[in-house]
Structure 1
Amino acid sequence: MSVVVALDWTPNTNHTGLYIAKARGFYKDEGLDVKLVSPHVNNYKTTPANRVALKEALFAICPSESVISYHTHNGTKPQIRAVATILSTSTSAIVTLDSSGIDRPAKLEGKLYASYGARYEGRIVQQMIIDDGGKGDFVESTPPMLGIWNTLLEGKADATWVFMGWEGIEAEMRGVKLNVFKLEDSQVPYGYSPLLVTHPDTIEGSPDMVRKFLNATSRGYKLAAEHPEEAARIFLEAVQAEHVDCPLPEPLDASMVVKSHLYTAQHLLDGQGRWGHQELKAWDAFLDWLSDRGLLTKKCQSREQPDTANFTSLDGLRQGDVGDTIPRNSVDSSSLFTNDLLPPSN
């Protein structure tokens, strides 16, 4: 069976288990022919979550905010559901250049933040600034998705959101010192990210296929967790083989990939040695925080000029044009994810 997986970014060590599962024949063992699609093939014109919603891909990688958004948008978007978390603990953070002097969230006041344009992103950053004593006024720009990190390195933005296991490792290897604002340090119980998601119709109609896919994927990530240096070698070879027809914008740096694997390996399995398992309390905590801070609201963001009552701009969201409040008790956390399709031994 052919299976398309839409990645959230160009290949990096958050994706390593997928590439290992393909290279080592784990998917083939399950009767699956898996294709991993990097967003650089169309310069990120379609989000990975939307590819699943449109049934252009059977699986995608996205953050928990995307899952929440598809379950709470009052338009006609189909839902998506998380079937595994790739990382058991958070490795993401807001970062600034050490040389900028912006060494705490409050100092982002009035600064330029390079945004991915996500529904909750700017308001989460805004709340971190407010909770640190600022007013929450900053400029949220939306440069081309795959160039966001470079805007910070080139001094064209003051801050952005990264994975410390990837961009953080790159900065370290380039001798670029960063100020790192972890969300948990600002008492933000951030949700799982990234996640593997699929369409509810796929779960209902092809549960055995989903189980086979997750079984093979779990084997790949467990190998990465237990043998990170071997995983780095497999990953590098697999990425090159997978993307012959559409080479990456920039080749991977082998030494960085090794160092990144050593970092990421520590975050792949939970305290019981399981990959992919999600806790209801983690989803509840993030949703509770969004609700308590007034961020659980109906309007969605638009990078373009909004043309319906359901959408607003990123500036509009930060300035309070958010639509009606979504009652917290109307969002059932258990409907957003399932562990039921993970390997029983996982």
Structure 2
Amino acid sequence: MKKRLLALFVIIMTMTALFIGCGANSSSTSDTKDKPAADSSDTSKKSDGSLQKVKLQLKWLPQSQFMGYYVAQQKGYYKDEGIDLQILPGGSDIIPEQNVYNGVADIGVTWVSSLMTYQAQGYNLQEVSQVFQKSGMLLVSKKEKGINSPKDLAGKKVGNWFGGNEYELLALLSKYNLDKEKDLKLVQQDFTMDQVKEGSIDAASAMTYNELGLLFEGGMKKEDLNIIDMNDENVAMMEDCLFVNSDWAAKNKDLVVRFLKASIKGWKDAVKDPEAAGKTVYDVDKSVSLDHQVYMAKEVAKLVAPQGFDTSKIGQIDMKAIKQTGDFLKKYNKDLAKDPVVDDTTFTSKYWDEAVK
């Protein structure tokens, strides 16, 4: 009964998510985890030609951050693989790791640092594909604030959404020997970027594909801003990935491979024509403007397939980058239950390897 009530609660929260933003879901670990029910699903395509249902839990509401899945769905790639895909929107109170672990969803999208936090608690979750190959995290400020380098953050008010999204910022501060308690003031940031515009904070966290665009749409120009890129500072951590309940995946190997095959096709198309992909997402949920969805799609494409990246490798797992994320998380998350484990039990390429054959 407890598990049923939990599943019902999460479904209700999924359907009532109301916010728009980049998707900073909480990595709070105070919730108790229930053992998921065993799944004895058939792992192969059904002989009668009917489709197998799969639920994908997003990290946030429908937006071009997830355009590859929407493009694949719109073009029928999942149906071609015998899959009837239901895409579940996220929200401020939706935790993909819990939904996937408890069977509310079959596959989820989250940031690697958040996934590691739940794995460290004993959640039997496993990454199967790394969609973003670069971090989209920035720190932005008005030129007038004089933050020309991270060392200039001393004495400033610096914003972040927290909830597991702060670790790159903490790594940046540590690199420049800035004590987050003594040398500056970390403040809670909203998703509007109004705090930057009005000057109530000096520097704010921003995703390349969302909050930076909000500033531009609000009339600011790139030359009006100082931008610190976590990739350039070598403190970047991996973000959007696909993950599963390890037990479910082991019983549904062929289904996971077919899902990845369709998803990779969708992402390839989205990266090739982000303007069309942004329109596809906009048609799903017109909660933000078409221009913003297209802007977001173009920026997300740069993270999924950075300049010089071989698009045949979309979704591959770079274990060196994963290990760097684990090292940073171990160093900067004092509430981590135990050190992150980075091996084939927690991060595996076996399904991706099959999908791209």
TM-score by length of 1: 0.75
Conservation of the 8 A alpha-carbon contact between 1:229 and 1:261 = yes
Q: In structure 1, what is the equivalent of residue 351 of structure 2?
A: 341
Shift of 1:152: 4.2
Q: Which AA in structure 2 matches 1:3?
A: V
The alignment yields a C-alpha RMSD, in angstroms, of: 2.8
Q: CA deviation at 1:124?
A: 4.0
Q: Tell me the number of residue pairs that the alignment of Structure 1 and Structure 2 aligns.
A: 297
| 2:215 counterpart SS class | helix
SS at match of 1:4: strand
Gaps spanning 5+ residues in structure 1: where?
Answer: 241-250, 301-309, 311-324
Counterpart mapping for 1:255-274 below 5 A:
255-269=291-305, 271-273=309-311, 274=313
Residues 35 and 149 of structure 1: CA distance in aligned 2, closer, same or farther (over 3 Å) = farther
Tell me what 2:257 maps to. Answer: 211
How far residue 46 of structure 1 moved from its aligned partner, in angstroms, is 2.8
The answer to whether residue 131 in structure 2 is matched with residue 79 in structure 1 is no
- Asked whether the 8 Å contact 1:67–1:336 carries over to 2, the reply is no
**What letter matches 1:117 in structure 2?**
F
Change (3 A) 1:129 1:285: closer
Structure 1 residue 156: Cα displacement = 4.7
What TM-score results when the alignment is normalised by the length of structure 2? 0.73
Distance 1:99 1:7 in 2: 37
Check whether the contact 1:113–1:139 (CA below 8 A) recurs between aligned residues: yes
Q: 1:47 deviation in Å?
A: 1.6
For residue 57 of structure 1, what is the aligned residue in structure 2?
A: 105
Classify 1:27/1:258 alpha carbon distance in 2 versus 1 (closer, same or farther; 3 Å). Answer: same
Tell me the distance in 2 between the aligned counterparts of 1:51 and 1:83.
17
Corresponding residue number in structure 2 for 1:25: 76
Amino acid at match of 1:180: I
**CA distance in structure 2 between the partners assigned to 1:254 and 1:296 by the alignment:** 37
* Contact 1:17–1:217 (CA under 8 A) maintained in structure 2: yes
Match of 1:66 among 114, 139, 160: 114
**1:224 and 2:263 aligned:** no
CA distance in 2, matches of 1:337, 1:112: 36
8 Å contact 1:59–1:198 — kept in the other structure?
A: yes
Instruction: Report what 1:182 is aligned to.
Output: 229
- In structure 2, C-alpha distance between the alignment counterparts of 1:91 and 1:340, rounded to whole Å: 26
Quick one: which amino acid aligns to residue 185 of structure 1?
D
For residue 295 of structure 1, the aligned residue among 332, 339, 349 is 332
Q: CA deviation at 1:18?
A: 0.9
Residues 225, 135 of structure 1: alpha-carbon distance in 2 compared, 3 angstrom cutoff: same
Whole-angstrom distance in 2 between the partners of 1:104 and 1:3: 46
The offset of 1:165, in angstroms, is 2.0
Equivalences for 1:1-346 in 2 at 5 Å?
1-40=52-91, 44-73=92-121, 77-119=122-164, 121-122=165-166, 124-137=168-181, 138-142=184-188, 147=191, 149-153=193-197, 155-176=199-220, 177-188=224-235, 190-240=236-286, 251-269=287-305, 271-273=309-311, 274-290=313-329, 294-295=331-332, 299-300=335-336, 326=339, 331-342=341-352, 343-345=354-356
- 2:231 match: secondary structure: helix
- Residue 111 and residue 3 in structure 1: after superposition, are their counterparts in 2 closer, same or farther (change >3 A)? farther
Indicate how the Cα distance of structure 1 residues 155 and 70 shifts in structure 2: closer, same or farther if over 3 A, else same: same
SS at match of 1:334: coil
The answer to whether the Cα contact below 8 Å between 1:117 and 1:142 also exists between their aligned partners in 2 is yes
Instruction: Label 1:214 to 1:123 Cα distance change in 2 as closer, same or farther (>3 A).
Output: closer
- 1:164–1:25 Cα change, 3 Å: same
Q: Write the distance in 2 (CA, Å) between the matches of 1:66 and 1:266.
A: 22
Give the direction of change, closer, same or farther, for the CA distance of 1:20–1:252 in structure 2 (3 Å limit): same
Distance 1:268 1:194, change over 3 A: same
- Alpha-carbon shift at residue 78 of structure 1 (Å): 1.4
Tell me how far apart the structure 2 counterparts of residues 218 and 39 of structure 1 sit (CA, whole Å).
21
> Which amino acid is the alignment partner of residue 272 of structure 1?
D
How far apart, CA to CA, are the structure 2 residues paired with 1:152 and 1:79?
A: 40
Residue 148 of structure 1: how far off its partner (Å): 6.1
CA apart distance, 1:80: 1.8
SS state of the match for residue 86, structure 2? strand
Q: How many Å separate the matches in 1 of 2:167 and 2:328?
A: 12
Gap change, CA 1:133 and 1:285, over 3 Å in 2: closer
Q: For the residues of structure 2 that align with 1:208 and 1:27, how far apart are their CA atoms? A: 13
C-alpha contact (below 8 Å) 2:261/2:355 kept by paired residues: no
Deviation for aligned residue 1:67: 2.0
| Letter of the 1:17 counterpart | G
